[in-house]
Amino acid sequence: MNAIRIDGKAIAEALRARVARDVALLQAECNVIPGLAVVLVGKDPASSVYVKTKAKQAQAVGFNSRQFLLPSNVGEAELLELIEELNTNDAIDGILVQLPLPGHINRWRVLEAINPAKDVDGFHPYNVGRLAAGRPALVPCTPLGVVHLIKTVVSDLSGLNVVVIGRSNIVGKPLAILLGDAGCTVTGAQLQTRNLPDLCRNADIVVAAAGCAGLVRGDWLKAGSIVIDVGINRAIDSAGTAKLVGDVAFAEASERASHITPVPGGVGPMTVAYLLANTVDAAVSRRGLSLVPTPDAPTLCHLAP
Q: Which residues carry out catalysis?
A: 54, 98, 121
Please list, in sequence order, all residues whose beta carbon lies within 8 angstroms of the beta carbon of residue 232, skipping any fewer than 6 positions away: 244, 246, 263, 264, 268
Figure out which of the listed residues 57, 98, 187, 261 binds ligand GUN, where binding follows CB under 6 A: 98
Cβ–Cβ under 8 Å, residues 178 and 128: no
Residue nearest ligand GUN, CB atom distance: 99
Is the Cα dihedral 259, 148, 131, 41 positive or negative?
A: positive
Segment interacting with ligand GUN (CB under 6 A) among 97-105, 153-161, 260-268, 279-287: 97-105
Residue 229's DSSP bridge partners are 208
Report in angstroms how near the CB of residue 54 gets to ligand GUN at its nearest.
9
Cβ–Cβ under 8 Å, residues 207 and 164: yes
Is the Cα dihedral 72, 102, 58, 280 positive or negative?
A: negative
Report in angstroms how near the CB of residue 282 gets to ligand GUN at its nearest.
14
Asked if residue 70 binds ligand GUN (CB under 6 A), the reply is no
The one-letter code for the residue type at 73 is N
Report in angstroms how near the CB of residue 290 gets to ligand GUN at its nearest.
25
Report in angstroms how near the CB of residue 29 gets to ligand GUN at its nearest.
30
Whichever of 55 and 301 has its CB closer to ligand GUN, that residue is: 55
Tell me the C-alpha distance between 206 and 202, whole Å. 10
Asked if residue 282 binds ligand GUN (CB under 6 A), the reply is no
Figure out which of the listed residues 121, 204, 247, 281 binds ligand GUN, where binding follows CB under 6 A: 121
Tell me the C-alpha distance between 28 and 284, whole Å. 14
Segment interacting with ligand GUN (CB under 6 A) among 14-22, 94-102, 251-259, 296-304: 94-102
Segment interacting with ligand GUN (CB under 6 A) among 12-20, 95-103, 153-161, 236-244: 95-103
Cβ–Cβ under 8 Å, residues 242 and 236: yes
Parallel, antiparallel, or unpaired for β 161-165 and 94-97?
Answer: unpaired
Segment interacting with ligand GUN (CB under 6 A) among 29-37, 91-99, 205-213, 288-296: 91-99
Q: What are phi and psi of 24, to 5 degrees?
A: -65, -40
Figure out which of the listed residues 187, 254, 258, 271 binds ligand GUN, where binding follows CB under 6 A: 271
Residues that bind ligand GUN (CB under 6 A): 96-99, 121, 141-142, 170, 271
